[in-house]
A and B are shown apart, each in its own frame.
Chain A
Amino acid sequence: MQNNHPPTEQLERLFQRQSPGHETEAVVAEMELEKHLQSCPTCQTRLEQVTADIEWWQKTATYLNDDGLDGEQADPAFFTNSGQSSDVVQELTDRSILDSPVHPEMLGRIGHHDIEQAIGSGGMGVVYKGYDTQLNRVVAIKVLSPHLASNGTARKRFAREARAAAAVVHPNVIPIHGVNSDGKLPYIVMQLVAGRSLQAHVDQDGPMETKEIVRVAMQIAAGLDAAHKQGLVHRDIKPANILMEDDLSRVMITDFGLARAADDAAMTQTGWLAGTPYYMSPEQSRGKSVDATSDLFSLGSVMFFMATGRVPFRAESPMAVLNLICNEPVTPVRQLNADIPRSLSDIIEKLLEKRPSDRFRSAMQLYQVLEDYLAYLQHPRTARPPKKLLTRVQLRRRSIALVFAAGWMAMLTTLYFALSHFWLGQNDFKHSDSVNQDQRTDLPSLIPADSPLRSLMPDAVFHEQIRELERELSQFEINLGKEPGQDDAHLSAPAGGNEHQ
Chain B
Amino acid sequence: MTLSPDTRTSLILRLQRSDDSRVWSEFVSIYQAVIYRMARQQGLSRDDAADVTQDVLSRLTKAINGWDENPELGSFRGWLYRMTRNMAIDFLRKMRRQPLTGNPPAFQAALNQVAECGSDEFDLEFERQLFRRAANLIEGEFTTTTWQAFWRTTVAGESIAAVAESLEISRGAVYIARSRAIARLKLAVQELLHQTTGE
Residues of A within 8 A of B (CB): 14-19, 30, 33-38, 44, 47-48, 51-52, 56-57, 59-65, 69-70, 72-73, 78-79, 81-82, 84, 86-95, 107, 117, 121-126, 145, 147, 235-236, 259, 262-263, 265-267, 269, 271, 273-277, 280, 284-285, 287
Contact = CB atoms under 8 A, between A and B. Distances in A.
A48 B10 contact: no
21 contacts: A14-B176, A15-B180, A51-B183, A52-B183, A56-B185, A64-B155, A87-B8, A88-B24, A88-B27, A89-B8, A90-B7, A95-B62, A123-B5, A145-B7, A236-B4, A263-B4, A266-B2, A274-B4, A275-B3, A284-B2, A287-B1
Chain B: number of interface residues, binned into ranges: 35 or more
Contacts of A285: 1
Interface in B142-159: 142-143, 146, 151, 154-157
Nearest to B164: A38
A19 B3 CA distance: 44
B57 A91 contact: yes
A17 B177 CA distance: 11
Interface in B18-67: 24-25, 27-28, 32-33, 36-37, 40-41, 46-47, 50-51, 53-54, 57-58, 60-62, 64-65
B47 A147 contact: no
Contacts, number: 194
A17 to B, nearest CB: 8
B94 interface: no
B117 interface: no
Nearest to A272: B13
Contacts of A284: 2
Contact of A63 (B9, B131, B143, B156): B131
Contacts of B154: 57, 60-61, 64
A276 B6 contact: yes
Interface stretch (B96-104, B166-174, B191-199): B166-174
B36 A73 contact: yes
A147 B9 CA distance: 12
Nearest to B10: A274
A275 B9 contact: yes
A273 B146 CA distance: 38
B171 A267 contact: no
B11 A89 contact: yes
A86 B32 contact: yes
B10 A89 contact: no
A72 B2 contact: no
Nearest to A122: B7
A36 to B, nearest CB: 7
Contact of B61 (A65, A94, A271, A280): A94
A51 B46 contact: no
Nearest to A318: B3
Nearest to A126: B7
Identify which of B8, B41, B51 gathers the most chain A CB atoms within 10 Å of its CB.
B8
A410 to B, nearest CB: 50
A235 B4 CA distance: 9
Contacts of A269: 5
